[in-house]
Amino acid sequence: MATNLPLTGTFNVTCEYKRKGNSWIAGWHTGIDLTGSDTIYATCDGTVTRIGLNDDSYGNFIVVKATNGKYHWFCHLSRIDVKENQTVNRLSKIGIMGNTGNTTGKHLHYEIRNESNKYADNINPAEYMGIPNKVGTYDSKNYQIGESTTTEGKLKTLKRNTNLREEPNTKSNATLYLENTTLYVLQKSVAVADGYTWDKVRIRVNGKEGYMINKNYK
């Protein structure tokens, strides 16, 4: 399954979207900074509209125009593996993370601009990826795109690593999910077992349903 993430495996958010600061012309961070695996993937179906080389700010960068008209910017790359006008999708490897342009270390600056493609006219890339807009360590396997995502229930975030159980008890089969994974509470307090109250939940991005101890999310 695919994700809306530009990298795979364990990764870090090192600077969140909209952080305020004088180091940005807009006065805030227009993208999100990520570190992790070197290979960078396109995060959407679209077309490469621009390749930039040795830009003072963005270094080597790729711009992909998604089929919905938004522009995805992948910046500070050490290598670029696509050409202008090339069609890409979420499984396309487009380049290698690097340290080019105005950076203090190797990372990917990823931002999503609206249809204007103008600086500081952005959407929240964390929301697009389905991850928290918060400095931290995450794992791409928790942010797979499911085939269907109905949005009933209240959106919650795990406050610690927690098992999703097939039944509402601690002995049934479990899948571990990591802190900050988002989920919906479908039904509250469906059972009390093993000293815990259990809710029926659905993991947001893969649609998987099961039971969790209701103390484990925010």
Least distance in Å: CB of 131 to Zn ion?
15
Stretch of residues binding Zn ion (CB under 5 A), selected from 31-39, 48-56, 137-145, 196-204: 31-39
Contact 124, 31 (CB under 8 A): no
If binding is defined by CB under 5 A, does position 16 make contact with Zn ion?
no
Nearest residue (beta carbon) to Zn ion: 109
Half-sphere exposure of 88 (CA within 13 A, CB side): 28
Stretch of residues binding Zn ion (CB under 5 A), selected from 28-36, 62-70, 78-86, 168-176: 28-36
Question: Contacts from 190-194 at CB under 8 Å and sequence distance 24+?
Answer: 193/168, 193/169, 194/169, 194/170
Q: Is the dihedral of CA 149, 151, 157, 160 positive or negative?
A: negative
If binding is defined by CB under 5 A, does position 33 make contact with Zn ion?
yes
Other C-beta atoms within 10 Å of 7: how many? Answer: 20
Cβ contacts of 100 within 8 Å, gap of 6 or more: 54, 59, 60, 76, 77, 78
Stretch of residues binding Zn ion (CB under 5 A), selected from 26-34, 52-60, 163-171, 190-198: 26-34
Bridge partners (DSSP) of residue 87 are 47
Least distance in Å: CB of 155 to Zn ion?
26
Distance CA 82, CA 94 (A): 6
Residue 15, SS3 per DSSP: strand
Half-sphere exposure of 215 (CA within 13 A, CB side): 4
Q: By C-beta, is 77 or 205 nearer to Zn ion?
A: 77
Q: By CB under 5 A, how many residues form the interface with Zn ion? A: 3
User: What is the contact mask toward Zn ion in residues 93 to 132, using x (rule: CB under 5 A)?
Assistant: ----------------x-----------------------
Q: By C-beta, is 40 or 203 nearer to Zn ion?
A: 40
If binding is defined by CB under 5 A, does position 200 make contact with Zn ion?
no
Q: By C-beta, is 58 or 198 nearer to Zn ion?
A: 58
Q: By C-beta, is 119 or 196 nearer to Zn ion?
A: 119
Q: Are strands 59-66 and 154-157 parallel, antiparallel or unpaired?
A: unpaired
Least distance in Å: CB of 15 to Zn ion?
6
Least distance in Å: CB of 18 to Zn ion?
11
Contact positions vs Zn ion (CB under 5 A): 31, 33, 109
